[in-house]
Structure formats: C-alpha cells, structure tokens
Structure 1
Amino acid sequence: MTDFGEILKHVGEFGRFQKSLVFMLCFLSFFNAFHMFGQVFLEISVPHHCNTSWILAINPNLTEENQRNLTIPRNEHGSYEQCRMYTPVDWDIETIQMYGLNSTEDCQNGWVYDTSQQKSTLVTEFNLVCHRKDQTDICQSIFMLGILIGSLIFGPLGDRIGRRPVLLISILLMLAFGLGAAFVTEFYAFMVLRCFVGIALAGVMLNNLVLVAEWVGPSQRAYATITVHVCFAIGLMALAGTGYAIRNWRLLQIACSVPTALLVFYIWFLPESARWLLTKGKNEKAKDLLQKAAHMNKKELSEEILHQLQEEKQTQSGNMIDLFRNPTLRKRTLIGCFIWFANSLVYYGLSMNVGSFGLDIYLTQLIFGAVEIPARLGSMFAVQIFGRRLSQSVYLLLGGTACLIITAIPKELSIGITVLAVIGKFATASSYSVCYVYAAELFPTILRQNGVGLCSMTSRIGGIIAPLIILLEKYHRAIPMAIYGSVPIIGGLLCFLLPETKGMDLQDLTLDTNDIPRSDSLPKNQLLSDSHEPQTKQRKSTRF
C-alpha cells in the first residue's frame, strides 16, 4: 500500500496542476474581500442634524445657516448637535431671534444629511443615526453569525459530498444574495441577505483552504495557502479604491457582487480533492484526477502505484464529536479554536473599526490592505524558517501588545493610534495566515473539514463579538482595545502546547492505541499520535 504523500511525490507536489489550482482560488480570494468588508463603505456616516423645517412655515426665507442657528443647539465643542433640536414653538420669527429657544428634545421629523461627499449610504437611506446608530454594528455581527452558520453547514457537508460541489454551490449563493442585497427597501431585509452572504462565504473560505492543503505537498503547502491570502489583501486595497470611486451604496453593493459571476468557469476546471476521493473509496475518480495532474506536471505514474490505489478500502468520515473523543485531538481542537477566536476578534475588530482611528477612511483602508501583503508574505517565510507553532505565538503576542498600547494613547494623537493599529493589523493578518496553514495540518483527512470547520466556527464567534465590543466605547474608550489586546496574548501562550507540524505530511486517519473506538463510523485500531516527529510505526498505520 502507498500513502497519499508518496503518491503526490510521483504526481508532483507543486507542479503546473497545483499552480493552476492556486491561480483559480486566488481570484476567489480576491473577490471574497469585497463581500467580507464591503459594508464598511456601505455604511459610512455623514454629517447630519435634525430636520427643523417647522421654522420655515414661520419664515420661508431663512438661509440654511440661520435655520440651524435658531433651531439646533451646539455641543461643548461648538458644533451642532446631531441628535437634539430645540422644541418647536408658535412664536413669530422676530421673537425667536430676540429671545432664542431653550427647551430641547430628540429629533422628531427625521434628519438632514450632508451628501456633498457621500451621495447615498445605508445610514442616510435608512436613518441609521442617533438611537439607531448601533444597528450598523449589529448588522456586521449578523453577517458574522451567517459565517458561523455556514461553517456548521459547509464544514461537515464538504466532508460528506466533497470540496468541489460545496465550493460551487457557495459561489452561486454568494452571488445571488449579494446582488439581492443591493435592491432591498428595508434595512432588516438587508441584514437577512447579508447573513446569507456570510453563510455562503463560509463555504467558500473553508473549501478554498482545504483544496489547497490536500493537493499541495508539505514543502510548498504554506506558500500556496498564503499566496491565496495575499490575493485577499490585494482585494482589500481594490475595495478601498472601489469605495472611493462609487459613493452610492446600492451601486457599490452591485460592484462588490457582480465580479463573482466571472468565476462561472470553475464549473469546468475546478478539480475535486483526490485525497478526499480516496478516503471515500472512489478510487477510479481519484486515479483519473491523479493521472491528469501527473500529465499536467509532466510526470508519470507507474501502473504499480495505480494498481495499489484500486486495492484500497473505503474509510468513512468522522464527525465533530470525534474531535473530542481522542485526548490528543481534543487538546488540539480546544487550543486551535481559541487561537482562531483570538485572531478573528482582533482582525475584525480593527478592520470594521477602520473609520474611527482619526484618518480618512479610504486612506486607512488602503493602508490596512497594503500592510497585509508583507504580513502574509512574511508569514510564508516565517512558518518555513521558524515553524508553525513559534510563528503563530509571536504574531499573536505582537498583535495583542499593539492593541494594549493603544489604550494608553490620547485620542487626539490620531497618527500614533493609526500606526499602532496598522502594527496590530499586520500581526493579526500574519497570524491568520499561519493558523490556516497550521489548522489544516493538525487534523487528519477524515476529520479535517470538521476540525477546520469547528475552528472557523469559533473564529466567527469572535467576528460576531468584535463589532459589539466597539459599543462598549460609550463607557470608556479604552475598553474595546483592552479586550482586543488581552485575548490574543492568552492565545499566543497556549500555542506552545501544540505540536510542530513543519515538514510533516498530512495524516489521513485517526488511530487509537488502546483499541477504543472513537465512534461507530471508524475502525477500532485507529490512533492519532501527538509526537512532534513522524514515527515509522505511525507512517505504516496511516496508509491508503
């Protein structure tokens, strides 16, 4: 019998076939950035104040400035209040100008918006200001809830029906619901459709990762995975330019969604995972794919190897419960989940708060996207030189420290805060790239989609909480950053309890030396070794 790692060496670990696959998935990752963070530019807030047109019934010749002076109070900084107005009276205009108004109340007849810079946003169309201001952050949390739901659905589904069909279905759903969100007439309908976009996006991200991990050999796996992540960073930069050019939220939502339709060619060219096909006993399909890959890579597969593939027995998939039956897998799962949670909390907390650091939102988004390119590329070399475990830990500790320092910086020093936020974004983006590589290597093939799906699920919990933590700023401005800083530091310390997987082939089965079955679906004699180095006995056990 020959294990898949040996087969891949004959096929080519990173030849033309794998490079073509990575090239296709790079396009998908590029467009994912638009769906993930497009709402940042859809909900840009603009200057506004209460609608006080009541005074025009008394004197229709008032200028806008005179109208505001007479009907809108000023705050302690001397600017007009955005959510308060003077209570209307039935006096004549001379009396109002002579004595002024003193009694104030909340806006009663809507708001007036300054649309000179931003033509139309979710905020202006659905009046998401004052007492409704928090709904934009809630909408972001609901989107992340959708990604959580998608992780629960598409993680196990990818293990059951395959990576390719789930990826194609997810792309179609993402396109349909993304376009639908551009035509809603109620904000709650927009929330629902964004939730479905999040569900589809989860299926795309999970299977994107797994396809790369299962087709590329261990020597190039990190490079391939992180290359896809670099394209996501380029997508973030393109999003900043797109948002700057299109100032109408409906047109921007269409512009963020339509490009996904260009990926229709995936139906003909996207391959299934041969490793997954083998675990399902679909040896003929796996053999055809491997022959195609070998041909594209200008390699030859011997008849002996292909004959051994035909002799393999089907291995049934496990489920998420199996991740907790084995002590080794349980430790990896719990720590991995916390690491993904910490990464997500800080990454999305900083990314979705891009407009609050004091600089222009488009410039800040461009910087945030640009800094991810060296971050992703740097992590590519870090995991190969220093290993997965140390790289993951250092990046988490650096990101957490940067956020904690921000809590001590005065709000007026916007440049200093932005610089530290960029450092935090750099570290968490790097850490995110590492954890995608690391997670795929920590779990065996028959549980990989479940394991990565569970980690992704906890990551989405962090994404759900991240926008809500921003709401705590009303109590003290340092609270959000204190939370964003402390959680990744804990995660960075927990990394040292995980094994190093640098240079090791992916494991395919989960075994147990005590002959205690993990579940009814798996054989008794299966075990996952927690050794840091591959063992001869283990290699013989994890054969196809």
Structure 2
Amino acid sequence: MCIPNFLTPFHMFGQVFMAVEVPHYCNTNWIDAIDSNLTEKEKLNLTIPKHADGSYEECRMYTPVSEDIDSIRDYGINSTENCKEGWVYPTDPKPTLLTEFNLVCDRKDLNDFGQSIYMGGLLAGALVFGPISDRIGSRNMILLTMLIMGSFGVGTAFSPNYYVYIALRFLVGSSFAGASNVTVSEWVGPSYRHLAQIITHLANALGQMAIAGLGYGLRNWRWLQIAGSAPMFLLFFYIWVLPQSARWLVTKGRTEEAKNLLRKAASVNKRTVPEEMLDQLAAEKKVKSGNILDLARKPHLRKMTLVMLWVWFVDSMVYYGLSLHVGDFGVDIYLTQLIFGAVELPSRFSCIFLLEWIGRKKCQALWLLLGGVMCLIIPIIPKGWPVAVTVLAVIGKSALAASFTTSYVYSAELFPTVVRQTSLGLCSMATRVAGIISPLIGLLDKYHPAVPMVIFGTTAVIGGLLCFLLPEMRGKELQDGTGNDSQVRGDSVSTFF
C-alpha cells in the first residue's frame, strides 16, 4: 500500500503547479490595424493602463478606438474596459492550465472552483465506493480504483477545454474513496496496527515531496499530468500479490478462504499456524451484518460517529486549506511544497511513538489544537514577514498531517468490522465535503485576509476539544460486531498476528 500512497498525492496537489500565477495583460492586437510597426513596449504604453508602481494592469485595457496613431499618442485614450480578446503571457512559454484556459481576472476563481469539483468527486466516491467495498472486499475495490485513477488521470492530459478537464478530474477524485488503507489495519494485530498505517502515510509525505521536483522539471501541464498518472498502470501486478482481508472473509462466512490466506501469511513470515488454532475459526458463529443505521441507533456508535465526522471534516478543511495555497505565503512555491512534504515525515513518524506513549485520544486532540492555534496566529503576523508566516503554516500543516494519520488509525480501531468500511466511508464523506468547502473558504480573503485562517483555526480547536469525548483504543482488540458478540471474532482472528 505504500506505492499507491506515494503516487496519489499528485492528483490531490498537482493542480497547484499546473496553474502557477504568471504575469499577464490584455491582448490589444486591435492597435495593429492602426499601426503595425509599433514596438511591443510602445503598444503596451498606448493600450494598457498602469498601476501606481508603473506595472501594467492585468485585467484592464484602454477602449479600442479608430483614430490615427498620432492622435492616440498625443491625446491618449480616456476610457478603459475589461479584456475582450483574451490575454498575453509574455514570460511563460510553457502551456499551463492558467495560460491555456485563461484562468485569470474574472476567470481566476475557476481554478478554486475546479479544485472544489474535484473534491466533489471524492465525496461521490465516498458515498458509492465505501458501502460497495464492504460487500466486495477492500482488495477488489483497491484494484478497481487504481484502474480508474490511472485511466482518467492520463485522459485528463488530453482535455480540449477546462470543463472537460474538471469533469475528468471529478472521476479521478471519485476513485480515492476506494483506495483505502483499511486492509493494512485488518492484517495486523493491535501492537503493530498504528505502525502499519503510519508507514503508508509516510509514503504519502514522500509523494508530496516528489511533486515539487516533478512540477519544477515539467512546466508543460499536459506532460506533468501524464507523468503523475501513468505510473499507476505499473501496479497491474497487484492482481496477483494484493491479498484480501482475512478478517473480512471471516465476517462474510468464507472461513476456508481466510484459513488459506492465514497459512500463506505465516509462510511468507517463516512461521507456522497450528491447525487446531485455525479450526477455532470454523467453530464460531458468523457475526451479524451491520449497516449504517447501527451507527445512528446505538448510542456509543452514534457519539463516536458524530465526533469523528467533525474530526475528519476539520482535518481535511484545514490541511487542504494550507496545502492548496502554498503560493500565498510569500516563499517560492516549489521550495514551500518540498518543505510541506518534508515536515510531514517527522510529524507522521512521531505518531509511531506518541500513539503508544500518550494514547490515540490525546494525540488526536493535541494535534488539532496545535494546528488550530497556528492558523489563528498567522493573521496577526505583519505582511512583510513571509518567512514567519511560512514557518507557522509549516507547523500547522505538519500538525494536521499528524492528526490525519491519527484519524485513520483511531477510526479503524473505533468502529466494528461489520460497519468499518461504511463508517470510514462516512468519515471520508465528511472529509470530501470539507475538501469542497476548503478552496471556497480561501476566496473569502477578498473580504478580509484574516477570514480563512480564523475559520480554519477555530474549527480545528473545536475538533481538538471534542476528541476528549472519545474512548481510548490503545492496546485494545478490534471489534467485529456491533453488539455483545463484538469481541468474539476479533480476539480469535487477531491471535494469528
């Protein structure tokens, strides 16, 4: 699972490097019909207004006139209007989303809206693929979503316009819900469960660092899209090597298949499993199937579900709110992305020890509180201190990354096996709703620069406080059922690990 986790960050953050802000101004070729011998500088001086600092305005031009060139030179043009014939990008010869689809001026918000639509795909996938995964198993769902991600990811590079681009991105986003790490949690026992999840998240952080190098080396957005998507096809061999969850097979009554997988796992690890221990699986009754209504009916599940929905919502909204605006902190975007990915390594790695040392609940709460406080401090830093703002953003993002890692480990332990995929699908749905909202919150800075960070910080602090309502799961066995029989099968399956 580390390999796909290394590849998936591209789809989440790659657009940041496909729409990097570049200088631009209105296309004013209308003046060529009056005098085609003007130099570029003369042409700009006669047709583009200037800011107070002497730079050309990006989104306004002088209204075209039919007068002769001498009259224009002598008297100028008094009226201005928005760009009518597109824009010119003098310093960027490589095609990007911004330059090819003109995502500037009155079309600038389309970039954030496009990212929100992509997150909408993640929401749709959470609604569809979560419950389906409970039925067909995480292995089959992972294989299917990897195929979807690779196919539509490469197809996106051939988009003829921005609307086709965001439609294909929606389909790519929908596949994320099926690329779950639940299999990792279900294949190991309590003492290694958090370690397995964290290792896959470290691979995700490395993937974020790789995006900085890939985006720096490939400035053509179509080649960048292909380079970030095509490697998924190299994982076709997962059909033969990716195992189904033995725990899931047991809950579905497919005990013999589970036994064979447990024997194979033992063989790979140079261990043996006593047959009398395997026979214990066949002697137990099948756990009653659970459904989404159990999460609402049973008080303890309802409380855990509501709190974890908010935690995942905040994790996503603040994490992506910081990640998708790496160019707004005043430091080089490629360097910032590299740092953003690098700081996640120690923060996620520290969870290996902290989750066992102080427990899941305290870790979840403290990470959210730290990230929220950083976001609340950022608005009070003077604008002339970009390094200080970047440092605070880095600390906040690393805290939210650790919180995300803790959420995956914690949630997989809180919910019983029979509703685990469904509950995680709901949590994923909350994450995707937050992902849709997060880019839109960034647009609120036009009213006041502090608004987005205040929203991010406040919601994170509330999430941290709510975590103290949850039970501690450190060292406890996974539950399989939602009632009194919930521990029966969990204890016996975990014995094998």
Q: TM-score of the superposition, structure 1-length normalised?
A: 0.88
Q: Secondary structure at the match of 2:157?
A: helix
Q: Cα distance, 1:313 vs. partner? A: 3.1
Match of 1:187 in 2: 162
> Structure 1 unaligned runs (5+)?
1-24, 512-525, 529-537
SS in 2 for 1:105: strand
Among 56, 62, 84, the residue aligned to 2:32 = 56
Higher mean C-alpha displacement, 304-313 vs 429-438: 304-313
For 1:344, the equivalent position in structure 2 comes to 316
- Distance in 2 between the 1:160 and 1:371 partners? 38
CA offsets, 1:212-232, max 9 Å, x none?
100011111111101100010
The one-letter amino acid paired with 1:47 is P
Q: Quote how far apart the aligned CAs of 1:99 are.
A: 1.6
For 2:90 and 2:307, the matched residues in 1 are separated by: 48
Same amino acid, percent of matched pairs: 57
Q: Distance in 2 between matches of 1:240 and 1:274?
A: 38
RMSD after superposition: 1.5
1:150 maps to which residue? 125
User: Deviations 1:45-83 (Å, cap 9, x if unpaired)?
Assistant: 211100011112222121111111111111234321111
Q: Which residue of the partner structure matches residue 104 of structure 1?
A: 80
Provide the rounded CA distance (Å) in 1 between the counterparts of 2:462 and 2:53.
40
CA 1:153–1:541: 2 relative to 1, 3 Å: closer
Contact 2:287 2:480 in 1 (8 A): no
Counterpart in the other structure of 1:381: 353
**Which amino acid in 1 is paired with 2:129?**
F
Letter in 1 for 2:271: K
Task: Name the counterpart of 2:98.
Answer: 123
* Distance across 2 between alignment mates of 1:540 and 1:176: 39
1:4-25 residue CA offsets vs partner (Å, 9 max, x unmatched): xxxxxxxxxxxxxxxxxxxxx1
2:4 corresponds in structure 1 to 28
Equivalent pair of 1:509/1:542 in contact (CA under 8 Å)? no
Matched to 2:318, the amino acid is V
CA distances 1:325-374 after superposition (whole Å, capped 9, x unpaired): 10000000000000000010100000111111111111111111111111
Moved over 4 A (4+): 538-544
Q: Look up the match of 2:446.
A: 474
CA contact (8 A) 1:281 1:312 kept: no
Aligned residues: 493
Matches within 5 A, 1:465-504: 465-504=437-476
What is the CA distance between 1:405 and its match in structure 2? 0.6
Could you tell me which of 13, 18, 21 is aligned with 1:37? Answer: 13
Tell me the equivalent position of 1:273: 245
* Equivalent AA in structure 1 for residue 209 of structure 2: M
2:214 to 242, 246, 271: 242
Displacement of 1:35: 1.5
Residue 70 of structure 1 is matched in structure 2 by: 46
Answer yes or no: is 1:369 the counterpart of 2:341: yes
In structure 1, what is the Cα distance between the partners aligned to 2:347 and 2:63?
54
For 1:345 and 1:92, locate their aligned partners in 2 and report how far apart those are by CA, in whole Å. 55
CA contact (8 A) 1:323 1:330 kept: yes
Is 1:136 matched up with 2:108? no
Distance 2:469 2:340 in 1: 31
Aligned residue for 1:189, secondary structure, equals helix
Report the Cα distance in structure 2 between the residues aligned to 1:362 and 1:328, rounded to whole angstroms: 45
Is residue 508–residue 542 contact of structure 1 (8 Å, CA) maintained in 2? no
Compute the displacement of 1:310 (Å): 2.1
Q: In 2 relative to 1, CA 331–262 (structure 1 residues): closer, same or farther, beyond 3 Å? A: same
3-state SS of 1:220 partner: helix
- Give the Å deviation of 1:115: 4.1
Matches for 1:419-458 after TM superposition, within 5 Å? 419-458=391-430
Counterpart of 2:479 in 1: which secondary structure? coil
Residue in structure 2 matching 1:212, options 184, 188, 208: 184
Secondary structure, aligned partner of 2:73: helix
Q: Mapping of 1:381-400 within 5 angstroms?
A: 381-400=353-372
1:176 corresponds, among 151, 164, 172, to: 151
CA contact (8 A) 1:354 1:364 kept: yes
CA contact (8 A) 2:138 2:178 kept: no
* Corresponding residue number in structure 1 for 2:227: 255
> Residue in 2 aligned with 1:522?
none
CA gap 1:123/1:385 in 2 versus in 1, 3 angstroms:
same
2:353 and 2:446 mapped to 1: Cα distance? 41
Partner of 1:161: 136
Alignment of 1:219-230 (within 5 A): 219-230=191-202
Residue 292 of structure 1: CA displacement? 0.5
Segments of 5+ residues of structure 2 without an aligned counterpart are none
Going from structure 1 to structure 2, the CA distance change for 1:157 and 1:313 (only over 3 Å counts) comes to same
- Say which SS state the counterpart of residue 130 (structure 2) adopts: helix
Matched, 1:79 2:55: yes
Letter in 1 for 2:423: G
Partner of 1:219, secondary structure, is helix
2-structure distance, mates of 1:507, 1:114: 61
2:69 corresponds in structure 1 to 93
Aligned partners of 2:297, 2:490: CA distance in 1, in Å? 19
1:311 matched to 2:300: no
**Equivalence map 1:520-531=2 (5 Å):** 526=484
Q: Give the deviation of 1:411 after TM superposition.
A: 2.3
Q: 3-state SS of the aligned residue for 2:191? A: coil
1:322 and 2:298 matched: no
Q: Show CA shifts across 1:264-318 (max 9, x none).
A: 1100000000000000000110000000011112222112112222223333432
